[in-house]
């Protein structure tokens, strides 16, 4: 129970420090409108969208194979690498990993040459990541606008965390006050099946 509360605290801190307003939900890349592609938001990612992936809730990348959603990493020590193109963000990435490690049993270490499953932080047009362990080089996309909180939020997604307010069983645990939902953003509170 303490672990759950700690993880929720980390997620809340991550959300506090970041812009969590996603763009309009996108199911498949071929249906993207040209004007939507030109919009810039720290929690969107267009370059990865194609027929194999969907962007939901603004920052969750889901593949056609839904079996990977929520899959656990094989060990609590997760290797990572940082693209040279965002090397200037190393301190932010390290701070985000420290936020997650401080409140969980997970830790992070620089990838060594024998490790083939790892997180790879790279430049993106937004903050986004896949949910859960996928194996191989697992990319975490970071735009220049992504704060330390945004980065921690995306790391939590790579650990298998999804947004609590869209869980199918959310009604048992939370009350969504519809009058408090930002106009034009009701999809952010849709239940995902």
Residue numbers annotated as active site: 154
CB 189 within 8 A of CB 58: no
CB 62 within 8 A of CB 69: yes
Tell how far CA 37 is from the center of its chain. 20
Helices 2-16 and 148-158 pack at an angle, to 10 degrees, of: 140
Measured between its terminal Cα atoms, the distance across the chain in Å is 26
Q: Token pair for residue 38?
A: 């030109």
Element (H, E) at 99: helix 90-102
Polymer length of the chain? 193
The β-bridge relationship of strands 137-142 and 60-63 is unpaired
Rounded distance between C-alpha atoms, residue 150 and residue 129, angstroms: 11
Count CA atoms within 13 Å of residue 5 on its CB side. Answer: 2
Feature table: binding site for Zn(2+): 153, 157, 163
């Amino acid at each position: 129970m303490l672990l759950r509360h700690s993880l929720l605290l980390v997620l809340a801190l991550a959300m506090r420090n970041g812009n969590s307003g996603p763009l309009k939900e996108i199911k498949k890349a071929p249906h993207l409108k040209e004007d939507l592609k030109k919009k810039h938001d720290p929690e969107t990612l267009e370059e990865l969208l194609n027929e194999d992936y969907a962007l939901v809730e603004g920052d969750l990348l889901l593949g056609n194979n839904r079996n990977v959603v929520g899959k656990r990493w094989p060990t609590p020590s997760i290797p990572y690498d940082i693209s040279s193109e965002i090397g200037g963000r190393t301190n932010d990435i390290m701070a985000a990993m420290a936020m997650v490690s401080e409140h969980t049993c997970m830790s992070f270490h620089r990838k060594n040459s024998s490790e083939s499953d790892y997180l790879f932080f790279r430049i993106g047009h937004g903050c986004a990541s896949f949910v859960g362990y996928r194996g191989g080089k697992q990319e975490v996309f970071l735009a220049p606008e992504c704060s330390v909180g945004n980065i921690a939020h995306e790391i939590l997604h790579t650990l298998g965390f999804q947004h609590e307010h869209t869980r199918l069983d959310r009604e048992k645990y939370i009350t969504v006050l519809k009058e408090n939902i930002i106009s034009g953003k009701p999809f952010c509170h849709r239940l995902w099946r």
